[in-house]
């Protein structure tokens, strides 16, 4: 699972000119589900994102989480994050999870996040226009595989 985390002062996602999700201060997530991902990866990522200290405290240091600032999350599925470019110039998307399984995992991920902060999801599999004001800019890439989680046991 790969997730691009962007701290934003506002973000929205549109499909065919219709806004389907909008947030103010918080986090924009670009979410890539890869083959082999499951509930363990979803739970790991949700915990990491909800507790990631990327918002400024009173001293201006990145010391607060999205929960602590009472921020929001805009979650956008992005299967292209599962791509690899080993040779040539065309991305290989064979590491992306089967769409039906990926959609179920993406939905579970959003439900889990929404237990703690407001979540506005994009639409799985749709062609979307994402608008954001990246605050900072702060952009973090998180990655976790099933194999890595197994090694931790």
List, for residues 79-106, the tens digit of each pLDDT value: 999 988 888 899 989 999 999 999 999 9
The pTM of this model reads 0.91
Name the pLDDT band for 144 (thresholds 50, 70, 90): confident
Active-site residue, selected from the candidate residues 6, 55, 78, 124: 78
Looking at the chain, the number of H-run helices and the number of E-run strands are 3, 8
Mean pLDDT over each residue of the chain, to the nearest integer = 93
The domains of the chain, with CATH numbers, are: 2-144 (3.50.80.10)
Rounded average pLDDT over 15-29: 97
CB–CB of 95/84 below 8 Å?
yes
Active-site residue, selected from the candidate residues 6, 55, 79, 109: 79
Rounded average pLDDT over 117-137: 96
Residue 80 annotated to the active site: yes
pLDDT score, position 129: 96
Residue 10 annotated to the active site: no
**Beta-carbon neighbour count of residue 117 at 10 Å?**
19
Active-site residue, selected from the candidate residues 80, 124, 139, 145: 80
pLDDT score, position 145: 67
Cα gap 96→36, rounded to integer Å:
9
Cα gap 56→69, rounded to integer Å:
9
């Amino acid at each position: 699972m790969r997730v691009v985390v962007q701290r934003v002062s506002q973000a929205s996602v549109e499909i065919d000119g219709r806004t389907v999700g909008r947030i103010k201060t918080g986090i924009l997530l670009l979410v890539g589900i890869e083959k082999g991902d499951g509930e363990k990866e979803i739970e790991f990522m949700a915990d990491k994102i909800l507790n990631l200290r990327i918002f400024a405290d009173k001293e201006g240091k990145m010391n607060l989480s999205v929960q602590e600032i009472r921020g929001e999350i805009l979650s956008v599925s992005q299967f292209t994050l599962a791509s690899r470019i080993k040779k040539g110039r065309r991305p290989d998307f064979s590491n992306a999870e089967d769409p039906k399984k990926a959609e179920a995992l993406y939905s579970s991920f959003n439900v889990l996040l929404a237990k703690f902060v407001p979540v506005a999801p994009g639409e799985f599999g749709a062609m979307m226009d994402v608008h954001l004001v990246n605050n900072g800019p702060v952009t973090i890439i998180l990655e976790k595989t099933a194999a890595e989680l197994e090694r931790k046991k």
